[in-house]
Amino acid sequence: MKKNLIALAFLPIISQAGYVSIISKGEVVYTHENLNIVEEKISYSNWVNHNTHYDCAYDIVEDDLYYSFTDTQNGTCKQDQTRVKTTEITYANGSKETKASNEYQTLSENVSNTITGTHLEKSCLDIQSFNNSLPTNYYSVAGFDDDIYPVYCDMDTDGGGWTRFDYSSLKSSELFNITYTNYLGFAEDNFVNDRLVFGDNNQNLGNDAIVHIEYPFNYQEFYLKDYKIKSRNGVIEIGDNNLTNQRWDTPFRLYTVDDKTNPAHGDVAFGTTDNDTPTTSFVQEGVDAQTNGLISFPNGKIYDNGLSSNTFSIRAMESGQENEDTYIWYEGYIFLR
């Protein structure tokens, strides 16, 4: 049988165990030495994807980048494919048999994409912890409701991680919540020229109130930069001495350093009401700001609350019998970390 086939006008290609391979009209045909098998014809289907999508491994993903930052993503994608091998067998007795089996292969491809970051934090310190190479700049943060808000981050001062706020944020920002403690002469949400005013222009009782700013993150330290208050009427007296022996929860108990028996005029205190007392305050008699005058506060000094809190409080108290009301935060910034 084998000799007769070789004598035909077909060209032998290879020999393998039990077979002689020949080419006939583009198909692979095996002639078997087993006299019961006359011919085996093998054909293949087209390769088709075994899975719908590539299986890709990337060096970075969107959550590895901070929100809105872009970078190049590199990776390798693999696609499994399968095809059907069909074998048609013709036996010497004229009977035929068809056998089918699956074959597999994997295609590999290198890919490169531009991706945009999706990672969000709630404070500049958290941003710095996520990526300590980020410079001083504006960044997006998540608020209480996970909505996105822009903030300015100081990544340089004393190691960085400071979140900045200005006076306008008291009225317009939805990033934090504001509540008040009113001891004397203050109308809540009393904004003039977009600035919060403590006191009432129509009374002669001075003022004493606290604004509590609740943030969606915790902080422990703060510093003031170019922070100023302004008198709208009368005289306010402010100094730069730190104050001790004072409490948030007691009206008219902010004393000067030199006189702890009588409340001072023009006391302004900062810190958190999670403590019993403010962290620092500025009170000193005889340092006057005349009507419409500006008072500047110490610039850049870092104050430590001594505990972690999400509330920053500002208290202003002006005792006396004048029409005294004050822009409690007229210019400048507060930085929290």
Query: What's the pLDDT tens digit per position in 144-186?
Result: 888 999 999 999 999 999 999 998 888 877 888 998 888 776 6
Note the pLDDT tens digit of each residue in 81-137.
999 999 999 998 889 999 999 999 999 999 999 999 999 999 999 999 999 999 999
> Is there a single domain that holds both residue 96 and residue 130?
no
In a domain, 40, yes or no: yes
Q: Does the residue 173 lie in any domain?
A: yes
Has residue 50 been placed in a domain?
A: no
Same domain, 322 and 175: yes
Cβ atoms of 266 and 237 closer than 8 Å: yes
Domain match, 140 and 88 both: no
**Number of domains present in the structure of the chain:** 2
Q: Is the pTM of this model over 0.95?
A: no
pLDDT tens-digit series, residues 40-91 = 999 999 999 987 667 899 999 999 999 999 999 999 999 999 999 999 999 9
In this structure, the answer to whether residues 41 and 133 fall within a common structural domain is: no
* Full domain range(s) for residue 146: 124-336
Q: Are residues 152 and 219 in the same domain?
A: yes
Averaged pLDDT, 7-14: 36
For residues 88 and 128, state if they share a domain. no
Per-residue pLDDT at 277: 83
Specify if 316 maps to a domain: yes
Same domain as 328, residue 187: yes
Same domain, 215 and 157: yes
Residue 72 lies in a domain: no
Q: Does residue 329 share a domain with residue 240?
A: yes
Q: Are residues 159 and 283 in the same domain?
A: yes
Q: Are residues 212 and 277 in the same domain?
A: yes
